[in-house]
Amino acid sequence: MTQAVQSEIYNYIKQNEHVIEEYIEKLGSFGRLSEGGIVRPVYSDQWFAAHRQLADWMAEAGLEVRADAVGNLWGLHGRKSAGKGYASGSHLDTVKEGGKYDGGLGILAALAAIRFLKELYGEPRLPLEVVALCEEEGSRFSKTFLGSRAITGTLPAEELDENRDAEGISVAEAARACGFNPAQLDSARRTDLAGFIELHIEQGRLLDDVKLEVGIVQAITGTRHMTVTFDGQADHAGTTPMDLRSDALVAAAQAITNINAIALKMGRPAVATVGKLSIEPGATNIVPARVVMTVDMRHSEPDKKAFLICQVEQACRTAAATQRVEVTFEREMDRIPAQMSPEIINLLKATADELGISNMAMVSGAGHDSQVVVEQIPTGMIFVPSKSGRSHSRAEYTPLDQILPGIAVLAQALYKLAY
Domain boundaries, the chain: 3-220+337-418, 226-335
Residue pair 214/384 in contact by the 8 Å Cβ criterion: yes
Cis peptide before 269 (omega within 30 of 0): yes
Three-state secondary structure readout of the chain: CCHHHHHHHHHHHHHCHHHHHHHHHHHCCCCECCCCCECCCCCCHHHHHHHHHHHHHHHHCCCEEEECCCCCEEEEECCHHHCCEEEEEEECCCCCCECCCCCHHHHHHHHHHHHHHHHHHCCCCCCEEEEEECCCCCCCCCCCCHHHHHHCCCCCCCHHHHCECCCCCEHHHHHHHCCCCHHHHHHHCCCCEEEEEEEEECCCCHHHHHCCCEEEEEEECEEEEEEEEEECCCCECCCCCHHHCCCHHHHHHHHHHHHHHHHHHHCCCCEEEEEEEEEECCCCCECCCEEEEEEEEEECCHHHHHHHHHHHHHHHHHHHHHCCCEEEEEEEEEECCEECCHHHHHHHHHHHHHHCCCEEEEEECCCCCHHHHCCCCCEEEEEECCHHHCCCCCCCCCCHHHCHHHHHHHHHHHHHHHC
Domains 3-220+337-418 and 226-335 share a fold: no
Q: What is the pLDDT at residue 1?
A: 46
CA distance linking residue 169 with residue 328, whole number of Å: 33
pLDDT tens digit string along 91-128?
Answer: 999 999 899 999 999 999 999 999 999 999 999 999 99
Query: Would you state the pLDDT for residue 84?
Result: 97
CATH (residue range 226-335):
3.30.70.360
pLDDT of residue 6: 63
Burial 9-41 (b: 16+ CB within 10 A, else e): bbeebeeeeebbeebbeebbebbeeeeebbbbb
Question: 3-220+337-418, which class in CATH?
Answer: alpha beta
In the chain, which stretches have pLDDT less than 50? 1-2
